[in-house]
Structure 1
Amino acid sequence: MQPLLNAIASMPLPSEAQRIFHGRGGLYPGCAHLSLDFFPPVWVLTSFLPVEDDQLSAIGAALEQRWAELAPGHPLNWVFQCRYDGRSSTQVMAGAVPDPHWVSENGVRYYVNVAKGQNHGLFLDMEEGRRWVHTHVAARATAGDRVKVLNLFAYTCAFSVVALKAGARHVTNLDMSKGALAIGQRNHQLNDVLANASFLPHDIFNTWGKITRGGPYSLVIVDPPSYQKGSFVATKDYARLLKRMFDLVEPGGHVLLCLNAPELGPAFLQSQMSELAPELVFVERLANPPAFADVSDERSLKVLVYRAPPLKE
């Protein structure tokens, strides 16, 4: 646990949501079950193993001491979430959690909920993916091409907000969860980009007709869960998506494929793309944020960019 305490003792005061300690990356022996995030003004400690009371007390004391140095006179707010043996519990250890609670990342604001549930509304490890979308869409908009985007497995629609702020013409967001999409609509309202977004609370595999009629798209974003029973299992369902991908993308358009499954390396997606959508050309794999450094690129988040061939003259 000492590497976590060392990170707390030396951390700066972030102004935006970010990861502070990433034990899950395997770089800190004895800390692979721990991570620490800051969703201003709340610190969120997550453990994938039970943590003894004396260890929690030590972490809390370290946070108290560093917070007193970083923000003297301001109360410390921190939350502990334990995910173990298929269960999840969350405790507010000190202070309080704002309601509503919104945070910012690269100037974009998002609603989050760190007091309950495993997912907080914004996946911090996808920051570079969102940055790529913003840069890509903004470049096309500057050139006079306001792109149309399809955002599959949209969750709370962070990709959509970023794309619209960058100048996208329209974004279609699709997710099975009506609750997640409702938060996504609030994110669009918060950033004043609701007018050019649509929200489809459907199972993707039962909605191909509607998705296809809305296309083709300049950019298709695919960010599914790696394993969600009854919804999506990467090892069998990703292939079902990829075999239809070429039909969704306009000539010269792009696809952003995401996969966060440590047991599946980038070759899993690349080989399936070569077999099922050979017309799409691999462009690059995006680097992950430095805060999410991992002992293995095979294990870490995979975000791959593909491009459709241009129209033949």
Structure 2
Amino acid sequence: MLLLPHLPKQLPAEECGRLFHGRGHCFPGLEGITLDWLPPSLLLTQFRPLEDEQRQQLQQQVEQWWQQVADLPLSLVWQNRSVSPAQTEAYGVEPPAPHWAQESGLWFELNLLRGQNHGLFLDMLNGRKWVKQQAQGKKVLNLFSYTCGFSVYACAGGAKEVVNLDMSKPALAQGKRNHSRNGFDKGVRYLGHDLFKTFGKLKRLGPFDLVVVDPPSFQQGSFIATKDYPRLLRRLAEMLAVDGEALLCLNAPELSRAHLQSQVAEFAPELELVEQLSNPDTFPEADPDKGLKVLRYRLAQ
């Protein structure tokens, strides 16, 4: 398993980013491996079973690369997601606690040793940047907000008001800390509710100039894309202001862009497709339909 030739020749800037994306099937034999830089730590994620010898080879290659590009002690977190629950181990120096890292000059709290998700989905960078560019003076609704990354970017872009909704109150609490660290304490609301029981409240809080929909693709008790996206789409238009826009996201390899577009056409015909946002260059995909899909829609006149 030759990972070393695919790693960058120098350590990237002091900002979060993906260093290697094997899951896009562009690197034969390494389809189950990703490596992220979350300063000051590396996160290697394993999505397929590995023999002990393969794991040792990968670890040695990461250590060799680190010696070439960095003058710091190695802090490597290895997350094995080929088992359930995922297993996480730290090699060398453990990540700091609390662990704050930057993306686009904004600070986010991370936790690499707890659970599968560390606090920031790196493949959504372009979506967050787009929200920042569009947010000036707007009311923004951030659905399935997790730790509120979209909201932080919206505030950085001058949003007038942001409403974050997520069923996980710990995630929202982390999101609130993200806002506070960046100095965005005003004009932000956090709702720890089930979306499908909250449409009435959201309609009263609206209408919104921009709605971000970034749900889990399959999370029992929260959202199952094939079943619940239509339920959401039926109510989406009533939450949007005149000329309002929605950013619809889908991260399910088995569901294509055409699938999401057909659902919008059937259940939210008031919306018209504007564009598909590209994913970061560090997330190459042999079949783009299997990667993250981020579609921009506008409420038709």
TM range (shorter): over 0.9
Q: Aligned equivalents of 2:157 and 2:8: distance in 1?
A: 37
- CA-CA distance at 1:60 after TM superposition: 2.6
Structure 1 residue 85: deviation in Å?
Answer: 4.1
Where structure 2 has 5 or more consecutive residues not aligned to the other structure, the ranges are none
Read off the aligned partner of 2:44 and give its amino acid letter: L
Runs of 4+ residues over 4 Å off in structure 1: none
Q: Distance between the aligned counterparts of 1:9 and 1:168, measured in 2?
A: 36
Aligned to 2:222: 231
Rounded to whole Å, the distance in 2 between the matches of 1:14 and 1:28 is 24
What's the offset of the Cα at 1:9? 6.6
2:116 is matched with which residue: 115, 118, 135? 118
Distance in 1 between residues matched to 2:157 and 2:46, nearest whole Å: 36
Q: Distance in 2 between matches of 1:305 and 1:49?
A: 33
1:179 matched residue in structure 2: 170
Q: Distance in 2 between matches of 1:253 and 1:193?
A: 24
Aligned-residue Cα RMSD (Å) equals 1.3
Name 2:5's counterpart in structure 1: 6
Match of 1:301 in 2: 292
CA distance in 2, matches of 1:231, 1:43: 30
Structure 1 partner of 2:106: 108
**Which residue number in structure 2 is paired with residue 57 of structure 1?**
56
- Give TM-score, length-normalised by structure 2: 0.97
Name the aligned partner's letter for residue 216 of structure 1.
P
Matches within 5 A, 1:161-240: 161-240=152-231
Q: TM-score, normalising length from structure 1?
A: 0.93
After the TM superposition, which residues 271-282 of structure 1 pair with which residues of structure 2 at under 5 Å, given as runs?
271-282=262-273
Q: By how many angstroms is 1:50 displaced?
A: 2.5
Alpha-carbon displacement from aligned partner over 1:88-123 (angstroms, at most 9, x marks no partner): 000002211100101111111100111121001000
Where in structure 2 are the equivalents of 1:23-172 lying within 5 Å?
A: 23-72=22-71, 74-137=72-135, 141=136, 146-172=137-163
2:279 maps to 1:288 = yes
CA distance in 1, matches of 2:288, 2:10: 25
How far the C-alpha of 1:184 sits from its partner, in A, is 0.2
Query: In the TM superposition, what is the alpha-carbon distance from 1:168 to its structure 2 partner?
Result: 0.2
Percent pairwise identity: 49
1:117 alignment partner AA: G
Which amino acid in 2 is paired with 1:195? K
Query: In the alignment, residue 10 of structure 1 is paired with which amino acid?
Result: K
**What is the CA-CA distance between 1:11 and the residue it aligns to?**
4.7
- Deviation of the 1:136 alpha carbon: 1.4
* Alignment partners' CA distance in 1, 2:64 and 2:209: 50
Q: Post-superposition shift, 1:304? A: 0.3
Letter in 1 for 2:204: R
> In the aligned structure 2, how far is the partner of 1:26 from the partner of 1:308?
36
1:205-250 deviations in Å (ceiling 9; x for gaps)? 0111111100100000000000000110000000000011110100
Aligned length: 301
